[in-house]
Every structure is written in C-alpha cells, then in structure tokens.
Amino acid sequence: MKSINQSLKPITTKLNSSGNIEIGGCDLVDLAEKYNTPLYVIDEATVRGICQDYKKAFEKYHNVNMMYASKALCTKAIAKILHSEGFGFDTVSAGEIYTVYKAGVDMTKVLFNGNNKSYEELSLAIELGVGRISVDNFFELSLLNEIAKSYNKTVDILLRITPGIECHTHEYIQTGHLDSKFGFDLTQIDEAVELILNDYKNLKLHGLHAHIGSQIFETSIYGDEVEILTKEISRLDKKFGLKLNEINIGGGLGVKYNESDKPPATYEIADIIINKLNECIKKYSIDAPTLILEPGRSVISTSGVTLYTVGSSKQVPNGKKYIAVDGGMADNARPSMYGAEYVAEVANNTDHELIEKVTIAGRFCESGDILIKDITLPKLNEGDIICVYNTGAYNYSMASNYNRVQKPAMVLVNNSQSDIIINRETLDDIIAHDVIPDRL
C-alpha cells in the first residue's frame, strides 16, 4: 500500500481554472501576492494524512507511541495539529520544549533528546513535566541525577545507544554507527545501568533508544535495529533483573525529493518492524515493550512548498543560464550543505512547454547559493512565481539571517483558506537584539 511520504507534492496540489497551481484550495500566485515571497506554504490535509498513514500502518502492534521529531519543523501551529492527531514530540532543545508547551501539548508525551543538554535545559524539562529524557552519555547521567535530586523528583529516562548500524545516507545524517557523537556504545551500557541502579537514585530507567539516521530508503535496517534493542533488553534482564518495557527506534524514513527517489511506504516499514518485534519477543523471551517512533521529515516534508519570485537572469556565453530568485541558502540551506536536490515548477506559467534548461540561483552573496541545478522549465520572466516542492522539513528550522535578510513568513492552507502561522520578519526584528555600548 502506498503512503503519502512517497509523493513528491502535497496531496491537494492541482491546476485551477486560471492555469495556476493551487494547494489546499489556494492559488499559489494569489498567496505570493497576498503574503509576498519567499513564502513557506504548509498543506494541512497532507500533514494530517501522513499522521493517519502512520497510525494505520502501526495499529497492528498493541502499544505504539508516535513522537514527532520536532527538529524537522517546530512551530506552535504545527505542534497543535500533530497533538490533535495523537502524536507526542521528540524535542532536542529548550526552544522546542517551550514551543510545544506553549502550544498546549500534554508534556507527558514529550521526550527530550540530544548529546549535550545544558543544566538550564534539563531543569526546564523537569519543571514542565517532560515525560521522558533520553540520556546520551555519562556526564548527562550525573548531571540529570543532580538536578532531579535538587527538585526532589524521580526522572523517567531512556538510555540512547549507538547500535553499530550504518545506513546509506549522507554522512552528516548517519547517527547509528559506532563512530558517532550520539549515545552510549554497546560496551558502555552495563556501566551506565549499574550507576542508575546503585548511585543515581533519582533516575528511573524505562528502556533503550536508538536512531540510525535520516532519509533512509533501506527497509531491512529497521529490523536489524529492533533485533539489537530487544536482544539488549533480554541481556540486561538476565544480568541485572531489570525489566525494561520501552524501545525507541527513532525515525528517519525517507521522502521523495525528486523523481529518482523511491522511499519505502510507511506501511512497508511498519510490517518489517512489527514482524521483527513479535519475532524477537518470542526469541528473547521478553515482555512485549511499548514501541516508540520518532518520524519527523516523513511527516512534514511533503506537506510543504516554498514560493519564490523570479528576478534577474544571466546567460553565461556558451554556458549556463542562471535565474535568480528572492530567496536561497538562508531559507533553504540543504542544497549548499548536503547537495540536496529539489523539483520546482512555475506556478503561474503551467500551460507552456518545458523549453529552457536553467539553474535557479539564490540572492545571497555566496557562489554556492544555488537552489536547483539544470532544471528544465518554461521560459521565465521577471515576476514569475516558482514553487519548490518538498520543503516542509528542515528549511525553516535551518533558516538564518545571513546577509541580514529577514526570514520568510509561513502560511497554513486548508479548504481554500490560508492563515499565517509564522510572521515575516521585519527590519526591526533583524536589529532587535543589537546593542550599542554607551561608550560608543
């Protein structure tokens, strides 16, 4: 069965009677005119549809907690939508914790993850009642116990481990192999458990957590991860009499950024994970644990597009033709950072044949500020609106004010209605935190 993460475009994308592209019943040209560009657009129907894909795919297992990986895109409106769909939240900073808290999320459904959490962040997590903290290293174990003791509380934790699995993704987004900054090595788990059982009385260990990477297309790798985690739970039970009842296998399911991408369906990985988990429960004689997943990119990426307005152009003699737009690497760092590839269409010129190969360049003062290389589009004119697909994940969350350019607005579209969910930054926002010392 297909799932929405296998789609290149939001599920409501279509051409309207004006010949323009519309999403969520909203004409993209009208959105660009109303809200200006660059503009992030999120299709609510696609977000909710993907959430429902996940819930249906995993409903065959008795106890599953879906926790959205907030780093992909974290806003109060997005948190409210996902919470209404029954998702919890995997957070990695005080900012993400505070965002979901202010969105009215049940904080017992929030997990705090990360490799160098600060004293202030861990304190905030305890104060706001975060349900689980995934402890990454020995330093954090000691620090967290100290903080929990000062609050006279027992904190519920998972241990994050590196399972030694290397998936075939970009080296920057591999997290499960042994040479990684994240988690306890398998050889360190016993020492950590002994500390928790004997010394750190304000910590209660519930299970193990691993994350094997991002933009994953391999399916068998999830089965390998389940095998390692359940085997380890069985071993810890036999050695320490420790009954762990949760395994968090992270997220990482890939999405379709271009036509050559063939991500597996949510339903396909669910079958692999559930079948392997049921097999391992019998094989290692353990109680069926709660299964926790942390999808992020695969929940939000397909839901989003970014709109740009065409500006200048440059024809290199006997070379490329560059088309410049009013955004670029500050609102989408992935092409320059990862070499990520995207698909785009002209939102207002859809009835013309694809007749020109161009490179879409950004407006920022870097030669590497290229959004899409060698894409075939209709002949472009100044003022045309370009729609870049599958930009819901990591585009806004990695955005910057490089060249002191304001970050774009974001709108949510649904049933022909559009609503601002992030205001466009102003010039005063840019200088809001600047301070000139009196001595100057």
What are the distances in angstroms from CA 379 to CA 44, 48, 84, 319? Answer: 32, 36, 43, 17
pLDDT in tens, 27-60: 999 999 999 999 999 999 999 999 999 999 999 9
Distance of alpha carbon 249 from alpha carbon 265, whole angstroms: 17
The residue among 221, 128, 125, 116 whose CA lies nearest residue 168 is 221
Specify whether the CB–CB gap between 23 and 418 falls below 8 A: no
DSSP designation for 71:
G
d(Cα 113, Cα 93) in Å, to the nearest integer? 8
Measured in degrees and rounded to the nearest 5, phi and psi for residue 144 equal -65, -40
Q: For residues 103 and 80, is the Cβ–Cβ distance under 8 A? A: yes
- What is the reported pLDDT for 338? 85
Residue 353 — pLDDT band, cuts 50, 70, 90?
confident
> Of 384, 418, 350, 377, whose CA–CA distance to 20 is shortest?
350
Q: Is the pLDDT of residue 175 over 90?
A: no
Q: Tell me the pLDDT tens digit for each residue of 313-323.
A: 999 998 899 99
Provide the token pair at 372.
């899409």
Of the candidates 26, 51, 167, 365, the residue annotated as catalytic is 365
pLDDT of 177 over the 60 cut: no
Q: Is 387 a catalytic residue?
A: no
Tens digits of residue pLDDT in 277-303? 999 999 999 999 999 999 999 999 999
| Alpha carbons 132 and 72: distance in angstroms, whole number | 20
Report the candidate in 261, 264, 276 with the shortest Cα–Cα distance to residue 227: 276
User: Any idea what the Cα angle at residue 84 is, between residues 246 and 299, rounded to 5°?
Assistant: 70
Res. 352 pLDDT band, cuts 50 70 90: confident
The per-residue pLDDT of the chain, averaged, comes to 94
List the beta bridge partners of residue 360. 323, 372
**Model confidence at 173: pLDDT above 70:** no
pLDDT(308) > 50: yes
pTM: 0.94
Q: Which pLDDT band holds residue 166 (cuts at 50, 70, 90)?
A: low
pLDDT at 170: 37
374: left (phi over 0), alpha (psi -120 to 50) or beta: left
Give the Cα separation of 72 and 331 in Å (integer).
14
| Span 235-258, pLDDT tens digits | 999 999 999 999 999 999 999 999
What is the Cα gyration radius of the chain?
A: 23
DSSP labels, 219-278: SHHHHHHHHHHHHHHHHHHHHH-----EEE----B---SSTT--PPPHHHHHHHHHHHHH
Please report the domains of the chain, with CATH numbers, ordered by start residue. 4-42+301-431 (2.40.37.10), 44-300 (3.20.20.10)
Q: What is the pLDDT of residue 179?
A: 53
Task: Write down the pLDDT at residue 136.
Answer: 95
Structure tokens at 373: 């290389």
Helices of type H across 2-153: 28-35, 44-57, 76-84, 94-102, 119-127, 138-150
Banded model confidence at residue 180, pLDDT cuts 50, 70, 90: low
Averaged over 108-114, what is the pLDDT?
97
174 falls in which pLDDT band (50, 70, 90)? very low
Token digits of residue 347 = 């939102």
Q: What is the mean pLDDT of residues 57-64?
A: 96
What is the band of 61 on the pLDDT scale with cuts at 50, 70, 90? very high
Say if residues 21 and 13 touch (Cβ distance below 8 Å).
yes
Percent of the chain with pLDDT over 70: 96
Average pLDDT on 118-140 reads 98
Higher pLDDT, 142 or 219: 142
Largest distance between two CA atoms of the chain = 73
